[in-house]
C-alpha cells in the first residue's frame, strides 16, 4: 500500500509530466508517473502523431521508458490528463491497462487518476482490467 507522501509525490510528478505532452491534434494532454519496485519513479507523457496509430499514451511512454531502463515490476501509477477545463478524469485506455498488467500484480498495483493532489480517484489495476491475461498465463 502506497503511503500518502509517495502518493502525493506520484501525482505531482504526473501533473508536471503532463506539461511536456505533445497533443496538437486532440488537445488532450496526459502525464503519468510510474512507481517501480526499486522505489524509482519514471514519468511519461502522451505524444501524438499525424498518423494517429503512431500516437503513444502517457502511461505507455512511462512504462516503456521504465522497461528500457531495466525496470520490470511496477507498484503504482498516477495519471493526470484531459483537455483544458475538462472535469472528467483521464482513465488509461485498454492498451495501457494491458501494458501495465504485463509488469505488475493487478491485485496490488495502485492507480491514482488525478486532476490535482486533492482531487483524485484511487483503484487497483484489477478493478480497471478484471480477469486479465498476463505473463503467468503462458507458463
Q: For position 97, what pLDDT does the model report?
A: 98
User: Total domain count for the chain?
Assistant: 1
Residue 110 annotated as catalytic: no
Between residues 88 and 48, which one has the greater pLDDT? Answer: 48
Q: Say whether 56 sits in a helix, a strand or coil.
A: strand
- Is the entire prediction scored with pTM above 0.75? yes
32: β partners: 44, 79
Return d(Cα 80, Cα 62) in angstroms, integer.
13
Q: Mean of the per-residue pLDDT values for the chain?
A: 96
Residue 5 cell numbers, joined: 507522501
Residue closest to 12 by CA, chosen among 46, 39, 41, 47: 41
- For 26-63, the pLDDT digits (tens) are 999 999 999 999 999 999 999 999 999 999 999 999 99
Q: What is the pLDDT of residue 137?
A: 83
Cα–chain center distance at 129: 14
Q: Which of 12, 16, 48, 59 is catalytic?
A: 59
Give the number of residues written for the chain: 139
Across the strands, what pairs with 94?
none
**Is the pLDDT reported for residue 67 higher than 80?**
yes
Calculate mean pLDDT across residues 71-84.
Answer: 96
Q: Which cell numbers hold the place of 101? A: 498488467
Q: pLDDT-derived band of residue 100, with 50, 70 and 90 as boundaries?
A: very high
Report the pLDDT value the prediction gives residue 84, as an integer from 0 to 100: 85
Note the pLDDT of residue 1: 84
Q: What is the CATH number of the domain that holds 36?
A: 3.40.140.10
Residue with cell 487518476: 113
Q: Which domain holds residue 55?
A: 4-138
- Dist CA 78 CA 97 (whole Å): 13
**% of the chain at pLDDT higher than 90:** 90
Amino acid at each position: 500500500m502506497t503511503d500518502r507522501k509517495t502518493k502525493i509525490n506520484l501525482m505531482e510528478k504526473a501533473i508536471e509530466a503532463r506539461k511536456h505532452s505533445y497533443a496538437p491534434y486532440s488537445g488532450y494532454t496526459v502525464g503519468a508517473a510510474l512507481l517501480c519496485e526499486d522505489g524509482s519513479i519514471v514519468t511519461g507523457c502522451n505524444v501524438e502523431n499525424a498518423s494517429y496509430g503512431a500516437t503513444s499514451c502517457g502511461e505507455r511512454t512511462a512504462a516503456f521508458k521504465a522497461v528500457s531502463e531495466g525496470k520490470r515490476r511496477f507498484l503504482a501509477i498516477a495519471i493526470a490528463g484531459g483537455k483544458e477545463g475538462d472535469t472528467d478524469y483521464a482513465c488509461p485506455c485498454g492498451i495501457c491497462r494491458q501494458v501495465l498488467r504485463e509488469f505488475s500484480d493487478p491485485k496490488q498495483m495502485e492507480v491514482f487518476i488525478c486532476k490535482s493532489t486533492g482531487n483524485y480517484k484511487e483503484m487497483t489495476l484489477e478493478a480497471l482490467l478484471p480477469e486479465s491475461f498476463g505473463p503467468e498465463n503462458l507458463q
